[in-house]
Amino acid sequence: MADESIRMVLIGPPGAGKGTQAPNLVEKFGAGHLSTGDMLRSQVAKGTPLGVEAKKIMDQGGLVSDEIMVSMIKDELANNPACKNGFILDGFPRTIPQAEKLDQMLAERGTPLQRAVELQVEDELLVARITGRLVHPASGRSYHKLFNPPKVEMTDDVTGEPLVQRSDDNAEALMKRLNSYHQQTEPIVDFYKKNGIWSGVDASQPPATVWESILNALGKK
């Protein structure tokens, strides 16, 4: 593998900036971005055996099993050309059993994780970030009431069309998501600390500073 390859997990609560930083990592390292939501949608759309099985479970309102998720990741690593230069896992693992299954599968492939980077942000700031988010539905352009307001209130700078706030971008929904994040996912941080591959990054800083910190954490400056 090239020196610039990367095999890592990106951990962080909703609103921490994973969606901003993951594309930077993909661009720099030419690695595959394995976001669990995207993988599930793609396997379901392609009608793969795993996708068919996952769709059945999701249609019944169930959670897709750890085995299916790890199999999907294994499938992507084998068949996604971008993963030749490594991978950035985003949104998985979320629990210790998932982390253990993932480690086992990666060890069998001879491609163990190199780093687990946690984007750390206080809950209060996340609430301010997310509840202030405004979106222009047609283009996906996003603004923020405090940090990046549109020139005219609630109006897209480019088209002049109205901006909307997503229904799940409210404080109540966010607190639920944060609570489940703290309960389920924070133990993973300890798991990776014990493995010696964890790094924490202060993600309350501007995105460019966070990016520098991630590169530092990866030793890839």
Which class is domain 6-121+171-218? alpha beta
Bridge partners (DSSP) listed for residue 202: 120
Instruction: Give the Cα separation of 206 and 216 in Å (integer).
Output: 16
Positions at the binding site:
15-20, 36, 41, 62-64, 91-94, 98, 133, 142-143, 166, 177, 205
125-178 pLDDT per residue, tens: 888 887 888 999 888 888 988 878 999 999 999 999 999 987 767 788 888 888
- DSSP readout, 59-109? HTTPPPPHHHHHHHHHHHHHH-GGGGGEEEEES---SHHHHHHHHHHHHHH
- Segments making up each domain of the chain, as ranges: 6-121+171-218
CB atoms within 10 A of CB 194: 9
The catalytically annotated residue of 141, 177, 193, 220 is 177
With cut-offs at 50, 70 and 90, classify the pLDDT of residue 184: confident
More confidently predicted of 19 and 42: 42
Question: Can 141 be counted among the known catalytic residues?
Answer: no
23-54 pLDDT per residue, tens: 899 999 999 999 888 889 889 999 999 999 99
The catalytically annotated residue of 28, 55, 84, 133 is 133
Question: Can 109 be counted among the known catalytic residues?
Answer: no
Read off the tokens for 96. Answer: 């210790």
The catalytically annotated residue of 18, 101, 115, 129 is 18
| 94, amino acid identity | R
Positions at the binding site for AMP:
36, 41, 62-64, 91-94, 98, 166, 177
Read off the tokens for 148. Answer: 């990046």
Question: Can 177 be counted among the known catalytic residues?
Answer: yes
pTM, entire model? 0.80
Question: Can 129 be counted among the known catalytic residues?
Answer: no
Read off the tokens for 189. Answer: 């941080």
Question: Can 46 be counted among the known catalytic residues?
Answer: no
